[in-house]
Amino acid sequence: MLRTRARLFLGAGLVALVLVAGAAVVALARPTQPVTTAVTIEIHYSHFNPSEIAVPVGVPVTITLRNDDPIDHEWIIGDDAVQQKHRTGTELLHPSIPTEVVIAALSTRTTVVTFAQAGQLKYICHLPGHEAYGMVGVATIR
């Protein structure tokens, strides 16, 4: 009788251990956005696709911007202060800055950006009305 009870407890303990281990594997296997060093963002109907990207901190990331629209767009990535400068028109020109790219209609541009710190930055097209159309994306740097 004592042996049977001990086997029962041992069996229940093993089942519990398997369930806990299985739950841990499932939790670790949750899908996350992959971090990559090469990203293509398509512009179609005045929207960025994808509108969310994940990139690594501290290494060069090649970003290809493909504009399928018959109108020009821009891709400005930065913090709130950078975005506000472009909203208010205090920074209209985009010299050779990797984080500020103008993409002519039906063309492709490539830029290389090294993100200095982890966090989230928005990328926005600040041409008149485009942000309101939804030309906004988020880059997670990790």
pLDDT at res. 4: 52
Q: Is 82 found in the same domain as 25? A: no
Q: Is 121 found in the same domain as 57? A: yes
Specify the number of domains making up the chain. 2
Q: Which residue has the tokens 């690594």?
A: 56
Residue 44's CATH number: 2.60.40.420
Q: Is 74 found in the same domain as 20? A: no
Confidence bin at 67 (pLDDT 50/70/90): very high
Q: Is 114 found in the same domain as 55? A: yes
Cα 89–45–104 angle (5° rounding)? 55
Q: Is the peptide bond before 31 cis (omega within 30 degrees of 0)?
A: no
CA distances from 89 to 29, 83, 106, 122 (A): 45, 10, 25, 18
Backbone φ/ψ region at 10: left (φ over 0), alpha (ψ -120 to 50), beta: alpha
Q: pLDDT, tens digit, for every residue of 80-133? A: 999 999 998 766 667 789 999 999 999 999 999 999 999 999 999 999 999 999
Q: For all residues of the chain together, what is the average pLDDT?
A: 83
Q: Is 44 found in the same domain as 11? A: no
In whole angstroms, give the CA distance from residue 101 to residue 30: 34
| pLDDT over threshold 50, residue 11 | no
Q: Is 117 found in the same domain as 50? A: yes
In whole angstroms, give the CA distance from residue 63 to residue 76: 12
The order of strands in the sheet holding 60-67 is 48-49, 38-43, 60-67, 108-114
pLDDT at res. 31: 52
Confidence bin at 26 (pLDDT 50/70/90): very low
Q: Is 42 found in the same domain as 26? A: no
Q: Is 104 found in the same domain as 46? A: yes
Q: Is 78 found in the same domain as 9? A: no
pTM for this predicted structure: 0.75
Lowest mean pLDDT among 35-39, 41-45, 62-66, 135-139: 35-39
Name the residue among 132, 123, 20 with its Cα closest to residue 12.
20
Q: Please give the residue range of the domain that contains residue 50.
A: 38-141
Q: Is 119 found in the same domain as 71? A: yes
| pLDDT over threshold 90, residue 40 | yes
Q: Is 71 found in the same domain as 12? A: no
Q: Is 70 found in the same domain as 49? A: yes
pLDDT at res. 32: 61
